[in-house]
Amino acid sequence: MNPKTLHYKMPAEWEKHERTLLSWPVQSSMVYPDNYKEVCGGYAELVKAIAEFEPVTLLVNPEDEESLRPIFAGHPVELLPIPHNDAWLRDNGPTIVVNGQGERAGINWGFNAWGGKYSPWDLDDAVAPAVLKHLNLRQFDAPLVLEGGSIHVDGEGTLLTTEECLLNENRNPSLSREEIEEHVKNFTNVDKIIWLNRGLAGDETDGHVDNAACFAAPGKVIIQVCDDPADDNYAITQENLRILEEAADAQGRKLEIIPIQQPPHAQYEDSRLTLSYLNFYFVNGGIILPIFGGEAAETDRLAEESLQRVFPDRRIRTIDGMAVIREGGNVHCTTQQIPSGR
C-alpha cells in the first residue's frame, strides 16, 4: 500500500499550513564552522519571520534546548528535541500527504546526505520517523532516496524535478528512471512529472529544483533566468525554459512561465554561491523571500516586485539571504510545511 492507492496526495505548498518545521544548525556538520554564530543569527531571523504568519516547530538537539528558549520567548515557536546531524529539514524531513477527508500521513524518504557528501547522516535519516511519531501521523516508507528540495508539485497532479538530481547515481543506483518515476508518482500521487535537465551552477545538492523553478499556481511556473551567455547558468536556464515552454501539465494545460532575473554571480572562497530567489517559502498569507544586498540590490528589488505581482494577496517578507547561503542552501531548504488537516 502506498499514498496513491490509499488516495493521499502531496498538497501544493501554497495551501494552508498548520505550522512550519525547521531544524537548528549543528556547528560540527557545517562546511564553515567558524560561521556558526552568523548562521544561527540567520536562522533566528528566519524562524521569527515565519512565526509572523504561522506557528513554528523548531527541531533542536537536546543539549541546545535550554539556551535557545530565551531567543524565541514571546514568539509562537515550539522547541522539539530531536537529535539531528544537519539543519536542512526540507531534505531529510517528512513530506506530509493528505486525503480527501483531511486525514494526514507522512512520507519517510531515504536520506543519504545528498549522495553521501557529508558524514555522518544517521541521525538525519531518522528525523522523519521521529517527527511523524511526534505528530502522531501514519508513516509511509518510500523505497528510494529523495530530498524534499528536489521536487515541487502543483496540487493538481503535476510534479517538477531535475534529472541531474533525481536520476543521479549517488542516490538510487539500482533503480531505473522508470522505477524512480513510478515510486515518485505513487508516493506523491501525481500523474505527470516534468523533467528539467539540470539545476543551477554550483548547487552541491546536484541540482535541486527548488533553486531553479517552482509552481506559482496550477499551470503557472516561476523560473530563475540568466541573460549572460558567459555565465554557466545561461545554458542551464535557457534549456529549462525550452523544456517548460514545450511542456503541458497533468491537466493538459500549456504552462504560463514567469521569469525572474538571477542575482549577480557571487563567490565564497573557491565556490560559487547558488543564489536563488526561487528558494522562497510560502507561508499563510505571505512569502518569505531571501534577498542578497550589495551588488544584488537591483535584482533583489525586481524579484520582490515580480513576486508581489504574481501574488498580490500575499505579503512579501524579505530576509537576509546571505546569512546561511555559504552553507549551501537558503529559506526553502531549511523549511518543511505541515499542511492543515484534521
Separation between Cα atoms, residue 197 and residue 240, nearest integer Å: 7
Separation between Cα atoms, residue 187 and residue 294, nearest integer Å: 42
What length does the chain have? 342
Please say whether the beta carbons of 6 and 43 come within 8 A. Answer: no
State the cell numbers at 14: 501554497
Please say whether the beta carbons of 67 and 52 come within 8 A. Answer: no
State the cell numbers at 232: 554557466
State the cell numbers at 206: 546536484
Alpha carbons within 13 A on the beta-carbon side of 313:
4
Please say whether the beta carbons of 187 and 140 come within 8 A. Answer: yes
Cα angle 205, 151, 278; round to 5: 75
Distant-in-sequence, close-in-space partners of 38: CB < 8 Å, separation ≥ 6: 323
Separation between Cα atoms, residue 124 and residue 128, nearest integer Å: 8
The catalytic position among 40, 165, 226, 333 is: 333
Tell me whether residue 333 is one of the annotated catalytic residues.
yes
Residue with cell string 544586498: 293
Instruction: Name the residues annotated as catalytic.
Output: 333
